[in-house]
Chain A
Amino acid sequence: GEDVEQSLFLSVREGDSSVINCTYTDSSSTYLYWYKQEPGAGLQLLTYIFSNMDMKQDQRLTVLLNKKDKHLSLRIADTQTGDSAIYFCAEIPGAGSYQLTFGKGTKLSVIP
């Protein structure tokens, strides 16, 4: 199967950490991605991780991958109001496919 599941909403206070979770079903996934969509805008590639890695850090963003449990998370440190957006988890399955399979997106609301 190619399902990617995310919770739909998350609210955090400004300055706190946000953790957005994602589960996927395809054990042959090669790359996993996080995209951000601000209101009225397109999808911005935030970061991605290869399936043989378990962690990737980029400034305030930390991606954790638990391949055994097929669980991906995105942690945003010191969350700011500008981080309010919809965050999409996506995967590329293996076997020569280049189709991104997306979750429905998690709407992050940052409370000042």
Chain B
Amino acid sequence: EAGVTQFPSHSVIEKGQTVTLRCDPISGHDNLYWYRRVMGKEIKFLLHFVKESKQDESGMPNNRFLAERTGGTYSTLKVQPAELEDSGVYFCASSPNNNAQYFGPGTRLLVL
């Protein structure tokens, strides 16, 4: 069974540009989560989808971040416009229930 996949693995963009990150959860997992780790800090929750619905988006830092999960399969996280402080590693996780979350390899974002 394939695990959670994320694309791209790395992204380097300039401040003010737009970046879109993609996550493909484990097949059949209704729950999909986004987290991020900025330099030197803990991994922080961003939001939680159940199928295509946003269950909890309390961790989204501001309105420059937009997450979607049309059709309840893969999800995208768009940052527009990107700022320097958005640099970090963005993780996606999925779970069939709410007990165990399985993480992808992450996307390393660097905003210059």
What is the interface of chain A, defined by CB distance below 8 A to chain B? 4, 31, 33, 35, 41-45, 48, 88, 90, 92, 97-104
Q: What does DSSP make chain A's interface, helix, strand, loop or mixed?
A: strand
Residue of A nearest to B37 (CB): A102
Q: Is the CB of A42 within 8 A of B106?
A: yes
Stretch of B12-20, B40-48, B63-71, B74-82 contacting A (4+ beta carbons < 8 Å):
B40-48
Per-position binary interface string of chain B over residues 31-75, scored 1 when its CB falls under 8 Å from any chain A CB and 0 otherwise: 101010000011111001000000110110000000000000000
One of A88, A98, A103 near B56 (C-beta < 8 A): A98
Q: Is the CB of B102 within 8 A of A45?
A: yes
Q: With A33-B100, A99-B48 given, name 17 new contacts (CB 8 A).
A: A35-B103, A42-B4, A42-B6, A42-B104, A42-B105, A43-B91, A48-B100, A97-B56, A98-B31, A98-B55, A98-B98, A99-B58, A100-B33, A100-B43, A101-B42, A103-B42, A104-B41
Residues of B within 8 A of A42 (CB): 4, 6, 91, 103-106
Question: How far apart sit A77 and B91, CA to CA, in the bound complex (Å)?
Answer: 29
Q: Is the CB of B99 within 8 A of A99?
A: no
Contact of A88 with B43 at beta-carbon distance under 8 Å, contacts A42-B91, A42-B105 already known: yes
The total of interchain contacts (Cβ-Cβ below 8 angstroms) comes to 52
Question: How far apart sit A99 and B31, CA to CA, in the bound complex (Å)?
Answer: 12
Question: How far apart sit A35 and B41, CA to CA, in the bound complex (Å)?
Answer: 16
Residues of A within 8 A of B102 (CB): 45
Residue of A nearest to B4 (CB): A42
Residues of B within 8 A of A88 (CB): 43
One of A4, A100, A103, A104 near B101 (C-beta < 8 A): A100
Q: Is the CB of B48 within 8 A of A98?
A: yes
Residue of A nearest to B47 (CB): A99
Q: Is the CB of B103 within 8 A of A43?
A: yes
Instruction: Quote the shortest CB–CB distance from A28 to chain B (angstroms).
Output: 15
Residue of B nearest to A6 (CB): B42
Kindly list the 8 A-B residue pairs having the minimum CB-CB distance in the complex, ordered from nearest.
A42-B105, A43-B103, A99-B45, A102-B43, A98-B98, A42-B103, A102-B42, A42-B106
